[in-house]
Structure 1
Amino acid sequence: MCSLLTLLFCATFLLSFINTAKILGIFPAPSISHQIIFQPIWKELSLRGHQVTVITPNPLNDTKLTNLTEIDVSYTYEIIARSMFVNNLYKRENTLWTLWMMYDVGLEVNQADLNDEKVQSILKDTKEEFDLVIFQSTHNFNVLTLGYGGRFKCPLIAISSLGVFLHAHDAVGNPTHPVISPDIMLNFSGELSFLDRVKSFLFNFWYRFLYYYYALPKADKIARKYFGEDMPYLGDIEKNISLMMLNVNPIIHTVRPNVPNVIEINQMHIRDKKPLPKDLKDYLDASPRGVVYFSLGSNVKSANLSSNIRQEIIGALGELPYNVLWKWESDYLPDRPKNVMTRKWLPQQDILGHPNVKVFVTQGGLQSIEEAITNEVPMVGMPFITDQPSNIKKIEDLGMGLSVDYKTLKKEQLKKAIMEVAENTKYKENVQKSKAILVDQPMKGVEKAVWWIEYVIRHKGAKHLRSPAADMSFFEYFMVDVVLFLGGCVVLALYLVIKIASLTKNVTKSTKKVKKH
């Protein structure tokens, strides 16, 4: 009894030093591949005693998390499903078109969230307060969510499930050199050619013009309908971000100089292995020659591929000497080969952890690549959208796999790539080398993320980490005024030299004429 009282006293004593907070999380992107990065964070914050309210299309629905309130906005998946952006995923449109579509669908999703009855009840409650707002800063799904920071007048933390666009770096004064750190949408990898450098330079200007003079003003007008006319300008709220956390890693992403309030995290969703369902375990165990795991992720669905691409893939998989496990999202796969098993959903991390899996055919999403590396599985990449092409290019450069182009895909190409990666041990060896680097960290990604979140809570913001560059105009940061001033001085000096030389010449001529006369 005495020891129990002692434990209770110690627990009470320790809890008295925990600075618990009310936290609002806004994670609007209807994509499970993004949400699985954020879920461990709000779960851990809840377990640490913080009162967490989350707006998400993928709630955990865990009754054990008593400090967690989740507002389910899963209906926004319907918006994505019918959008032009998704319907044109397989056409690989140009970067400018993709950005425009992402922005428009992002606004539509944000407004659907804001119109939710439970969200409205929070916004309209004049007594409601939060100590911190954490919002998703991936692609353009974050523009309207900035309004929550203005509404509750508290510190802001931005978190991304991959890299972020130029405007997010601008908000915290992070360097965005067009050659050293090209924007993620450009999908550049390795050493840039001269043409790539020109494209990146021009994109830096074009994107900023689009964001600051079109996207932000348009979003600000919409935001005032939900957060009130007295709210600050969204661009000013964006400048109030205390911390920005990026889900990047040293294997896939180029090393870049970051200001102190930009924190890199990774392996957020990597978890301990769970037992496989019996049918999958039996299938994998009964494949001594090996298994090829085929999945194009949650956004690019195999079942939506054109019949031509599907037939080429089926032809290649059917000729392999291995069994194949394919994430196929419908009930029926036409012309399914005998060595292929399909399932609408598969526990990817647990499958990749099975020793008989020889190759992972992947779309090249960041989370899938991290799972493959941590499970030491080499890859064949078939990239489609956003950062996938550059991710797969890096996989090739590091010798961890090969890539195929779905637009020109032939069964012989896919079969050859899979066989090469499966049979040549160099690919697995290179994956093992990358794993040694990836997992060698002082703390796990979730622990790091939560530590920094609580750091902001403890200090009621992190203005002391803010770079002066965040408050500079474009002209000040790039010293355009200084360059113009110095250029003007040079021009003036040259003008004076020429003028003096001309006067001297005229005086000399006059003197000679006088002497002659």
Structure 2
Amino acid sequence: MLPVKLLLLLCFSTCSYAARILAVVFIPSLSHNLVFRPIYRELSLRGHQVVAVAPNPLNDSSLTNLTEIDVSYVYERNKNIQSTLNFDSYTDFWDNTFQWMMLSAEDILKDSRVQQLCEGGDKFDLVLLEALLPVFYAFGTKCDAPTVGMISMDGMLSTHTVQGNPIHPILFGDMLLSYHKPLSLMEKTWYVYYFIWYKWYYNYRVVPQCDSMVRKYLGQQLPPLEEIEANSSMAFINTNVVMNSIRPMSPTVVPMGFVQIRPPNPLSQDLQSVLDDAKQGAVYFSFGSNTQSSHCRLFIIVLRYHDRVCELKSIVEDQPMTGLERAVWWSEYVIRHRGARHLRSAVADVSLAEYLLLDVLAAALSVLLIAGIVSYKLARLVGKLTFCGCRRNKQKES
């Protein structure tokens, strides 16, 4: 019996693999960081050696497999810039947000501790990165490791495009747009304009700027950043089909909704007193760390609201695994298979013209045009021959 147990022990010890994982988070916002920290924390608890670059490090000495590079200094620039951002329209929002994010990303890339990652034969088996910008996908190439992009909300148009998710301006497009009701003609027109603008802005402004930044700090020898981003294995997005718009998704896009949810801590005494004294019940919520608390006080005393929340909670939680378990399982899946190219959608590798069948339409129109021209020429030729024949007959009769 002992040899069998020993054999099983050896098998499990051989099959289990402690990987080296690099996690890079760069947005100076606790709301964003709270989504990613449980993932690399859990991976470290599962025996993987994790190096995390983060503005909000865990600073937990009990996590012996976790090494953190504290980049909380990016908050200093954030204080000076965020108040000046212009969010008057969706296009202004993205323009200002991308420029702000690039400043945070560049601050981190300047850090000598970050630049030394993957130097001197130091390798990783997986790179997890915050994917609101394509900058940190470059560490996948530098470290010779598959990459998984993580987003603390729904994916952007660029995220869905890279992973091969179908995109349609008026059905399932960008996370900022609403698809919960029938759209008016004016709204459809605006959505199409926004779709075209975003594609142009991301491909011809954001990616080139990020490419220049990466080459400046990580080396000119890297391939084009557009190719590096397109090589990513997966994207983890913080969505749930119940709470977000339903859309077709490639197997390489993993919804990890509510990954940041954990058992609640006790409320402060004053807030607990307010809620306890509410005769008909109360709901208190915050808009996150990016909005000042003075702007987000909202109390709803409605029993119907409570019932609806309980109903949604029951639906949301009715799934085979939690968002955290799903994110961890797919992270280890990518490690085991050195990527996930076999799950890649064919849509990711076709151009927009091919996706919209414009090449087929052009070929069909060309055939019809050629057929029309040939028919027209033949008709003219037949008409001309007929006319000439009739004319000769008349001449003979006369």
Q: Distance in 2 between matches of 1:264 and 1:443?
A: 11
Q: Give me the whole-angstrom Cα distance separating, in 2, the residues matched to 1:294 and 1:7.
A: 53
Does the 8 Å contact 1:183/1:200 carry over to 2?
no
Rounded to whole Å, the distance in 2 between the matches of 1:282 and 1:69 is 41
Instruction: Trace 1:77-88 onto structure 2 (pairs within 5 A).
Output: 77-83=75-81, 85-88=82-85
Task: Tell me, yes or no, if the aligned pair for 1:144 and 1:219 is still in contact at 8 Å.
Answer: yes
Give the 3-state SS of the residue equivalent to 1:241 in structure 2: coil
Structure 1 residue 86, shift from structure 2 partner: 3.9
The residue that corresponds to 1:350 in the other structure is none
Which residue in the other structure is 2:114 paired with?
A: 119
After superposing the two structures, state which structure 1 stretch, 455-464 or 470-479, moved more.
470-479
Task: Decide whether aligned partners of structure 1 residues 432 and 16 sit closer, same or farther in structure 2, where only a CA change above 3 A counts.
Answer: same
Which runs of structure 2 are paired with 1:248-263 in the superposition (5 Å)?
Answer: 248-263=239-254
Given that 1:22 and 1:51 are in contact with CA atoms closer than 8 Å, whether structure 2 keeps it comes out as yes
User: Could you tell me the TM-score, scaled by structure 2's length?
Assistant: 0.91
- AA of the residue aligned to 2:374: L
Alignment RMSD (CA, Å): 2.5
Distance apart, 1:73 and its partner CA:
1.1
**SS of residue paired to 2:235:** strand
Please name the residue that 1:300 is paired with: 291
In structure 1, C-alpha distance between the alignment counterparts of 2:114 and 2:376, rounded to whole Å: 70
Alignment deviations for residues 211-238 of structure 1 (CA, whole Å, 9 cap, x no partner): 2222211211111111111111101101
Q: Superposed, which structure 2 residues align to 1:45-444 within 5 Å?
A: 45-83=43-81, 85-88=82-85, 92-122=87-117, 125-138=119-132, 142-288=133-279, 290-291=281-282, 293=284, 295-303=286-294, 326=297, 361=298, 422-423=301-302, 425-444=303-322
Q: Tell me the distance in 2 between the aligned counterparts of 1:462 and 1:61.
A: 32
CA pair 287-181 structure 1, distance change in 2 beyond 3 A: closer
Separation of aligned partners in 1, 2:62 and 2:163? 37
The alpha-carbon distance between structure 1 residues 480 and 159, as it changes in their structure 2 partners (threshold 3 A), is same
Distance 2:280 2:390 in 1: 102
Contact 1:32 1:298 in 2 (8 A): yes
C-alpha displacement of 1:186: 3.2
- 1:11/1:29 CA distance change after superposition, 3 Å: farther
Label 1:112 to 1:12 Cα distance change in 2 as closer, same or farther (>3 A): farther
CA contact (8 A) 1:28 1:110 kept: yes
How many Å apart are 1:254 and its aligned residue? 1.3
Kept in 2: contact 1:107–1:143 (CA 8 A): no
Shift of 1:252: 2.5
Gaps of 5+ in 2: none
- Structure 2 CA distance for aligned equivalents of residues 105 and 484 of structure 1: 41
Q: Take 1:292 and 1:442, find their aligned partners in 2: how far apart are those partners? A: 29
Aligned position for 1:490: 368
Structure 1, residues 229-248: CA drift from partner, whole Å, max 9, x if none?
11111011011111111111
Q: What whole-Å deviation, never above 9, does each CA across 1:375-395 have from its counterpart, x for those lacking one?
A: xxxxxxxxxxxxxxxxxxxxx
Measure how far apart 1:37 and its partner are.
Answer: 0.9
User: Identity over aligned residues, as a percent?
Assistant: 35
**TM-aligned CA deviation for residue 12 of structure 1:** 7.2
Q: Which structure has the higher relative contact order (CA within 8 Å, separation 6+)?
A: 2
1:145 is paired with a residue whose SS is helix
Structure 2 contact 21–128 (Cα < 8 Å) conserved = yes
Conserved in 1, the CA contact under 8 Å of 2:170 and 2:179? no
Whole-angstrom distance in 2 between the partners of 1:154 and 1:298: 33
Task: Tell me how far 1:75 sits from its aligned partner.
Answer: 1.5
Match of 1:383? none
Tell me by how many angstroms 1:206 deviates.
Answer: 2.0
Verify the 8 A CA contact 2:115 2:218 in the aligned structure 1: no
1:275 Cα offset (Å): 3.4
Q: Gaps spanning 5+ residues in structure 1: where?
A: 306-312, 314-325, 327-360, 362-417
Match of 2:359 among 466, 481, 490: 481
User: Normalising by structure 1, what TM-score?
Assistant: 0.71
Aligned to 2:172, the other structure's residue is in SS state: coil
In the TM superposition, residue 267 of structure 1 has moved relative to its aligned partner by: 1.4
* Partner SS for 1:168: helix
